[in-house]
Structure 1
Amino acid sequence: MKRLISMAMVVALLVSLFAFTTALADEPIKIGVSFATQIARRFSFDEAYMRKVAEANGAELIVQWANYEQAKQENQVENLLSQGIDVLILVAVSTNMSPLVDKVKAEGIPVVCYDNFIENADLDAYLDRDNHAAGVMQMEMTMEAIGGEGDIVILHGEPTSAVVQGMKIGYDEVLAKYPNVNVVLEQYCEGYSAEKALKFAENALTANTNIKAFVCTADVLSLGILPAVEAAGIAGNCYITGMDCEVAACKAIYEGKMGVSIWTEIDKCATRAAEIAIALVRGEEFEYDEIIQNGDYSTPKVFVPILGVTKDNMEDWVNTLAPEGWITLEEITG
């Protein structure tokens, strides 16, 4: 009788354990996402594409916005951890946030680094454009537009951003080939502040009467300086670069007030980020382009295609690459 009771208890325990394990497996995956900012319109689209993948896989997407405040982002990630997330997609405010990554990893939670690289951190995946290549593209197009000589201004975004740092390397690489180009002003606009960009542009235009180009890392800065360029009477005769293909920037390109904006295929990037996040939770392998060394760690990197959008290729870009809802030709030409 005792043996039968013992066997019955074992069976009951196994059944309970199976039921518990099944219940855990049936719980939806919780994907935490911490975005650095809402300033750039693109991130609302990133969120939408991530959410689409999450819903298709029965997962839950929990999103926080830090608005370029590092302390705020750290607190928000703590909050995501308290909500029981299974994986974190992190668009970091700064490259210097490895302690935050360490804290998340200590909880056994994988981290997908998105758009802004984090140095010396144990990242499970990193997705971004090649920012060095984006910087090279902007500066080479600028050199072609101004004939490889003359005065230019360079306006960077947030100085702690890996995007900005990578693009600057690209800028400097190209400029080294053009000794007759004079950078009359090079400044960083913390928080990608359009107001700071405008002030820098006004000061540069007051001190220099023959500026041929403003090389800006993002459209928010390009659009920020346009009033100063227009007030100086050189709109259309001064080459301006940007990135993100905001509607207003595309309209400015169409009107000849800007030269180029770099487009990142955000729909593909956001979709892949969410797919990789889910694969990490499930213990599945995922495809990547290369392994990069990040301090003591090796990180799988997924590259995202970029395109320099100009007046010449804008219609084709709108019709073939721009995500649904991003822009229409009527918005540009109207």
Structure 2
Amino acid sequence: MNRCVFLARYLWLALLGCLLSAGVQAQSKAVDEITVGMSIPSLQWVFYLMVRDGVMEQAKALGIKKVLVSDAQADPARQVSQIQDMLSKGIDVLLYTATGSAASAVPVRLARQQGVPVICVDNFPKNVECDAYISTDNLAAAGELARQMIQLTGGKAQIGLLQGTLGDSTEIARAKGLDAVLSQAAGMKIVDQKPTDWLQDNGFKVAQDMLQKNPNINVFIGRSDAPALGAVQAVKVANIDHKVWVFGYDGLPSALEAIRDGKLDMTITQQAMEMGRTALRTAVDLQEGKQVTKVQLLPAFVTTRDNVAAFLEKHP
């Protein structure tokens, strides 16, 4: 090859590399200039308010000024529309908790089409991969809940199970964790189970119906605290003549207070605030082009009257 041609080609490649490098740098933003989009299933659900508060706390610490939060009001179609609107406003990252399973993959695909990293929080959408996933280790925590329940009840129970929303990734993981342990305890029988869509009023109605059909139920398990608190109310009005244990999951302030007051027997306290903080830190790392751990599962804590004061004082 002619030496001059070689040098010309070498210089052109070097120049092209500089231009590409400059383009990458131009796309990158300082942390305090990032616009964060956050889509929450419902601002009526205290758990997601706590996750949001963790995000806002971390945003303040990092100097991030723009965090757009949308409330899907438990409507998948509304959630898709809201995320489309946020993308049109030029968000740099998306923190996303899917509302149910219907159309849950659509927001991830929309964001990726625009090169916006997606961090899925708590509930994992179906048939699509997020750039990172932040959640509780629900499999392990639900298994520990089952072990504690077996110990407290002496290994014999007729159980009414208050499910969340069927098909949700959290519902599936908690079911697997619980069932794996209960399957090894012959005396623990699930005699009835119904979905509650994570709602307290539904928990009350479902538990009341279960008690009418089977007054010998002596354990209620709520896949989350809200339906568990509904079961507490149902047991109270039913005037049952035997001890009925009620177990929750989430560590919501209202559930922690119920444990302190002796109304709820146990819950699993998730690190809701830390989930939000972790999600935002991960989002910033992705926006800056850093490598992140794709699946980040946070431990949760068995909470009873013996240790509830610490969680009431400072929620994780």
Normalized against structure 1, the TM-score is what?
0.80
Q: Residues 227, 53 of structure 1: CA spacing in aligned structure 2 closer, same or farther, 3 A cutoff?
A: closer
Structure 2 CA distance, aligned partners of 1:175 and 1:167?
12
1:317 aligns with 2:302: no
> Counterpart amino acid of 1:197?
G
Which residue of 1 is the match for residue 271 of structure 2? 265
Deviation at residue 249 of structure 1 after TM alignment: 1.6
> Counterpart amino acid of 1:128?
S
- Of the three residues 157, 162, 170, the one matched with 2:169 is 162
1:36 aligns with 2:36: no
8 Å contact from structure 2 (residues 248, 268) kept in 1: yes
> Counterpart amino acid of 2:200?
A
Deviation at residue 255 of structure 1 after TM alignment: 2.9
Q: Residues 229, 82 of structure 1: CA spacing in aligned structure 2 closer, same or farther, 3 A cutoff?
A: same
Deviation at residue 100 of structure 1 after TM alignment: 2.6
1:139 aligns with 2:146: yes
Which residue of 2 is the match for residue 81 of structure 1? 87
1:306 aligns with 2:300: yes
> Counterpart amino acid of 1:146?
T
Which residue of 2 is the match for residue 5 of structure 1? none
Structure 1 CA distance, aligned partners of 2:27 and 2:151?
62
Q: Residues 235, 194 of structure 1: CA spacing in aligned structure 2 closer, same or farther, 3 A cutoff?
A: farther
Which residue of 2 is the match for residue 53 of structure 1? 58
Deviation at residue 74 of structure 1 after TM alignment: 0.7
Number of corresponding residues: 291
CA RMSD of aligned residues (A): 2.3
| Superposed counterparts of 1:73-152, under 5 Å | 73-95=79-101, 97-152=104-159
Which residue of 2 is the match for residue 291 of structure 1? none
Query: In terms of mean alpha carbon deviation, does 241-250 or 208-217 score higher?
Result: 241-250
1:266-289 Cα distance to aligned partner (Å, 9 max, x none): 222211111111111111233x3x
Displaced runs of 4 or more, over 6 A? 21-24
Deviation at residue 173 of structure 1 after TM alignment: 0.9
- Of the three residues 37, 54, 68, the one matched with 2:74 is 68
Structure 2 CA distance, aligned partners of 1:269 and 1:166?
17
8 Å contact from structure 1 (residues 263, 307) kept in 2: yes
Normalized against structure 2, the TM-score is what?
0.85
Deviation at residue 25 of structure 1 after TM alignment: 4.1
**Percentage of identical aligned residues:** 26
Structure 1 CA distance, aligned partners of 2:241 and 2:141?
24
Q: Residues 247, 123 of structure 1: CA spacing in aligned structure 2 closer, same or farther, 3 A cutoff?
A: closer
